């Protein structure tokens, strides 16, 4: 997971450099990957910004790392004002279903509220909670549970 | 009266003195096919032996289930004879599985089991006494034309040599399993003094496919797993179905159109409709005891609040507004109180408040950081069942406590056990048990429905065609 996030950082740095050099808004500079994701797309968000933040067990408070990711999402959303997003809150399976629906909603709301505080119009952000019913990682161990306690931003 | 067992036994004893053999007409509804019940013709006078009756209290039954002989019901022709065998076998399974009866192996019968015992004749009680039967069930199935079948049965008290019950039922042949369950309920009630729960159904969530793309469908089946059918097609995730106690209707949560809200499913028409166009996510529904409103959680602000929605006006009324997560509300059977789950005190615990809202009192106080969830009030009013999380092992457990929080008893434990639901007489709890994935692909994960007696005995897996979670037990006769 750490590796993945570092990778996202590197990609962002590349993109920024590229944009600076060319001044182009299409982001298809020669220094990017040969067939990079379309700017402002879901794939762009995942590859170059980071689409998700992670939470501690039974918590919905944003870590420093989570705030950094959301800062990048806010900047990206400022860059692509036509893009609307869905923020989905998820939980590990070490809680009960109904409570986790509320907890997932709280996680999604925490991410949304941060984005709004960073200037993203609230009308551009929808939230949903899947509780513990839509895990990213299908295993059952600390590592899998940590991955599943998240809020995932996607383009809608 | 704090021991639920004693409470049950007290009621059972009270009921047991009634005795007698009159059949009562049964009111059977909930959008299902009609079954007519009439008293069977009087049997020839039984001799009356003066021995100890099979009618006993449940407290004794726990130590020694009632030995009962259930020979095949006789039939007028080959089809009716097959039906008679099938009915006897469903009755045998119901009574045996509940743990309070011990159906005697047919191999032990002195009279040939295959021939059945005509219920219009007084049995040779000695033949049943010597194999240890305290109760004997005899019956007959016959076609009465027009696709209808008439099933007559008699329940005999072997030692005093008396008839306890004689009733005949008429319904369509296809509805035969239901007659068997109704007969099993009558036997249960006459011998234990408490209404049975065999003529009931279970609505649950059937799960298939990989865990990250799980397909979840509403499913319904008889309590003995027969007649399973799917109510939704899996296009949208569905969760937490619950029966209306007075109408053929289910409340559940659906992600239809990516908008998670509470829906109603009409079992008569098969139609589903959203409960109301409310702001935010609505979830965790349960019906009020009168069936006229739904209590649920709504997340339209910081946490989630408890609200009720009147089914006639669809008006929403907010009962909590704590800013915390208030979820999983459930009424007491008399409708005066609500037990619910809240993290208002810092972590998930159980609280009780008046039905109109107002001051809530915490009733769960887990030691060692235990959390409590999914409270559900027993239909008898004397217990609240719950899911307990955490503790030393990190396992979940299913338990019961008194409504004031005292007398906690853990009934079952596991990696994940969750979501208790009571059978209509409060004697058995069903919940679901999951096993953890043992690999990153999710292999090893399973979800099964399980029943357990509220004494903590007789845990049994309920057969389902797929993984199953979120069970809810129907009212009797529904």
Closest partner CB to A138 (pick from B325, B373, B440): B440
- The answer to whether B160 touches B49, Cβ cutoff 8 Å, is yes
A103: which chain B residues are within 8 Å (Cβ-Cβ)? 325
Domain edges within chain B: 4-28+200-473, 36-192
Inter-chain CB proximity B341 and A94 less than 8 Å: no
What mean pLDDT is reported for chain A? 84
Number of Cβ pairs < 8 A linking chain A and chain B: 104
Using alpha carbons, select from A123, A60, A137, A126 the residue that is nearest to residue A92: A137
Q: How many C-beta atoms lie closer than 10 Å to residue A122's C-beta?
A: 10
Nearest to B281 among A95, A96, A129 (CB): A129
Distance from CA of B431 to the nearest CA of A (A): 12
Break chain A into its structural domains and give their ranges. Answer: 38-155
Give the tokens for residue B237: 């995730």
The pLDDT assigned to B53 comes to: 77
Does any CB of chain B come closer than 8 Å to the CB of residue A100? no
Predicted local confidence at residue B61, as pLDDT = 44
For chain B (length 478 residues), average pLDDT per consecutive 10? Answer: 36 31 37 80 68 64 82 92 96 97 94 72 93 96 93 96 96 95 98 97 98 97 98 97 97 97 97 96 98 97 94 97 96 98 95 97 88 97 96 87 96 97 98 96 96 96 98 96
Taking CB atoms and an 8 Å cutoff, what residues of chain A touch B236? Answer: none
Instruction: Tell how strand B416-422 and strand B428-435 pair up.
Output: antiparallel
pTM of the model: 0.88
Question: Using the beta-carbon criterion (under 8 Å), do B419 and A97 form an inter-chain contact?
Answer: yes
Residues of B in contact with A130 (CB under 8 A): 237
SS3 assignment, position B243: strand
Q: Hunting for tokens 């040599």 — which residue is that?
A: B161
Q: Cα–Cα distance between B58 and B60 in angstroms, integer?
A: 5
| Cross-chain Cβ contact B341/A144 below 8 Å | no
CB contact under 8 A, B389 and A144: no
3-state secondary structure of B12: helix
Nearest CA distance, B214 vs chain A (angstrom): 7
Span A96-128, pLDDT tens digits: 999 999 999 999 999 999 999 999 999 999 999
Please tell me if residue B282 touches chain A, with a CB cutoff of 8 Å.
Answer: no
Residue B469 to residue B416: CA distance in whole angstroms: 11
Distance CA B220, CA B31 (A): 14
Residues 106-125 (A) with a CB less than 8 A from some CB of B: 106, 109
Q: Give me the pLDDT at residue B33, please.
A: 77
Indicate which of A98, A137, A146 best probes the interface with B, i.e. most B CBs within 10 Å of its own CB.
A98
Nearest to B214 among A101, A106, A133 (CB): A133
pLDDT tens digit sequence for B40-63: 877 666 666 667 777 765 544 455
Backbone angles phi, psi at B429, to 5 degrees: -115, 135
Among the ranges given (A23-37, A127-141, B313-327), the one the predictor scored with the smallest mean pLDDT: A23-37
Supply the DSSP symbol for B71: P
Min CA distance, B332 vs chain A (Å)? 19
pLDDT (tens digit per residue) in B181-216: 999 999 999 999 999 999 999 999 999 999 999 999
* pLDDT in the model for residue B76: 84
The 3-state secondary structure of chain A reads CHHHHHHHHHHHHHHHHHHHHHCCCCCCCCCCCCCCCCCCCHHHHHHHHCCEEECCCCCCCCCHHHHHHHHHHHHHHHHCCCCCEEEEEECCCCCCHHHHHHHHHHHHHHHHHHHHHCCCCHHHEEEEEEECCCCCCCCCCHHHHHHHCEEEEEEC
CATH number for the domain running over A38-155: 3.30.1330.60
pLDDT of B28 reads 39
Please identify among residues 89-118 of chain B the ones whose CB lies closer than 8 Å to any CB of chain A: none
- pLDDT number for residue B226: 98
Evaluate whether A127 touches A109 at the Cβ level (below 8 Å).
yes
Q: How many CB atoms lie within 10 A of CB A63?
A: 13
CATH 3.40.50.10070 assigned to B36-192: yes
CATH 2.120.10.30 corresponds to the domain B4-28+200-473: yes
Higher pLDDT pick, B80 / A14: B80
Q: Which residues of A touch B341 (CB under 8 A)?
A: 96, 98-99
The closest CB to that of A138, out of B240, B304, B441, belongs to B441
Residue A7 pLDDT more than 90? no
Neighbours of A154 (CB within 10 A): 15
Residues on chain B touching A109 (C-beta within 8 angstroms): 302
CA atoms within 13 A on the CB side of A110: 24
Question: Given this model, what pLDDT does residue B56 score?
Answer: 62
CA distance A144 to chain B (A): 8
Q: Are A97 and B470 an interchain contact pair (Cβ–Cβ within 8 Å)?
A: yes
Looking at the complex, does the CB of residue A84 fall below 8 Å from at least one CB of chain B?
no
| Cβ–Cβ under 8 Å, residues B231 and B270 | yes
Evaluate whether B474 touches B203 at the Cβ level (below 8 Å): yes
The answer, yes or no, to whether residue A20 has pLDDT greater than 90, is no
Contacts of B415 in chain A (CB under 8 A): 140
Interface check B281 vs A, CB under 8 A: yes
- ipTM (interface pTM): 0.89
């Amino acid at each position: 997971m750490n590796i993945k996030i570092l990778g996202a950082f590197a990609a962002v740095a590349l993109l920024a450099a590229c944009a600076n050099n060319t001044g182009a808004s299409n982001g298809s500079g020669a220094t990017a990957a040969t067939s990079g994701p379309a700017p402002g797309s879901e794939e762009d968000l995942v590859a170059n910004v980071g689409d998700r933040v992670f939470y501690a067990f039974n918590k919905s408070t944003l870590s420093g790392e989570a705030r950094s990711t959301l800062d990048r999402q806010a900047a990206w959303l400022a860059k692509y004002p036509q893009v609307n997003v869905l923020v989905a809150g998820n939980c590990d399976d070490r809680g009960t279903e109904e409570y986790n629906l509320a907890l997932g909603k709280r996680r999604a709301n925490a991410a949304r509220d941060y984005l709004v505080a960073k200037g993203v119009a609230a009308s551009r952000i929808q939230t949903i909670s899947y509780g513990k019913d839509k895990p990213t990682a299908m295993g059952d161990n600390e590592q899998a549970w940590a991955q599943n306690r998240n809020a995932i931003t996607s383009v809608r | 009266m704090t021991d639920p067992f004693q409470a049950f036994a007290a009621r059972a004893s009270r009921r047991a003195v009634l005795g007698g053999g009159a059949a009562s007409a049964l009111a059977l509804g909930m959008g299902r096919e009609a079954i007519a019940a009439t008293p069977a013709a009087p049997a020839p006078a039984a001799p009356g032996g003066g021995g100890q009756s099979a009618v006993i209290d449940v407290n004794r039954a726990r130590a020694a289930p009632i030995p009962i002989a259930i020979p095949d019901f006789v039939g007028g022709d080959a089809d009716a004879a097959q039906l008679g065998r099938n009915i006897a076998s469903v009755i045998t399974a119901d009574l045996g599985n509940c743990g309070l009866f011990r159906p005697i192996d047919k191999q032990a019968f002195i009279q040939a089991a295959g021939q059945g015992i005509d219920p219009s004749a007084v049995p040779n009680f000695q033949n049943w006494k010597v194999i240890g039967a305290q109760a004997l069930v005899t019956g007959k199935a016959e076609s009465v034309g027009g696709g209808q079948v008439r099933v007559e049965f008699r329940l005999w008290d072997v030692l005093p040599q008396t008839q306890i019950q004689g009733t005949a039922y008429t319904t369509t042949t296809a509805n035969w399993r239901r007659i068997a369950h109704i007969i099993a309920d009558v036997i249960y009630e006459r011998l234990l003094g408490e209404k049975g729960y065999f003529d009931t159904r279970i609505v649950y969530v059937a799960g298939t496919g990989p865990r990250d793309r799980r397909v979840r469908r509403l499913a319904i089946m008889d309590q003995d797993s027969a007649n399973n059918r799917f109510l939704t097609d899996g296009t949208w995730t569905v969760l937490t179905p619950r029966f209306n106690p007075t109408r053929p209707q289910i409340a559940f949560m659906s992600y239809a159109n990516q908008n998670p809200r509470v829906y109603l499913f009409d079992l008569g028409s098969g139609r589903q409709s959203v409960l109301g166009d409310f702001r935010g996510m609505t979830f965790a529904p349960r019906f009020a005891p009168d069936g006229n409103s739904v209590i649920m959680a709504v997340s339209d602000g910081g946490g989630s609040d408890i609200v009720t929605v009147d089914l006639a006006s669809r008006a929403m009324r907010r009962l909590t507004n704590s800013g915390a997560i208030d979820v999983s509300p459930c009424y007491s059977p008399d409708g005066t109180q609500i037990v619910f789950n809240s993290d208002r005190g810092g972590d998930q615990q159980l609280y009780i408040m008046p039905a109109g809202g107002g001051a809530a009192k915490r009733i769960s106080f887990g030691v060692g950081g235990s959390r409590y969830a999914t409270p559900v009030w027993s239909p008898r009013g004397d217990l609240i069942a719950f899911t307990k999380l955490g503790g030393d092992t990190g396992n979940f457990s299913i338990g019961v406590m008194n409504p004031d929080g005292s007398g906690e008893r853990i009934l079952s434990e596991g990696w994940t056990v969750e979501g208790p639901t009571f059978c209509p007489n409060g004697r058995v709890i069903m919940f679901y048990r999951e096993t953890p994935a043992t690999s990153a692909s999710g292999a090893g994960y399973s979800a099964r429905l399980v029943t357990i007696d509220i004494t903590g005995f007789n845990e049994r897996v309920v057969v389902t065609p797929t993984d199953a979670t979120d069970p809810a037990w129907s009212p009797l006769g529904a």
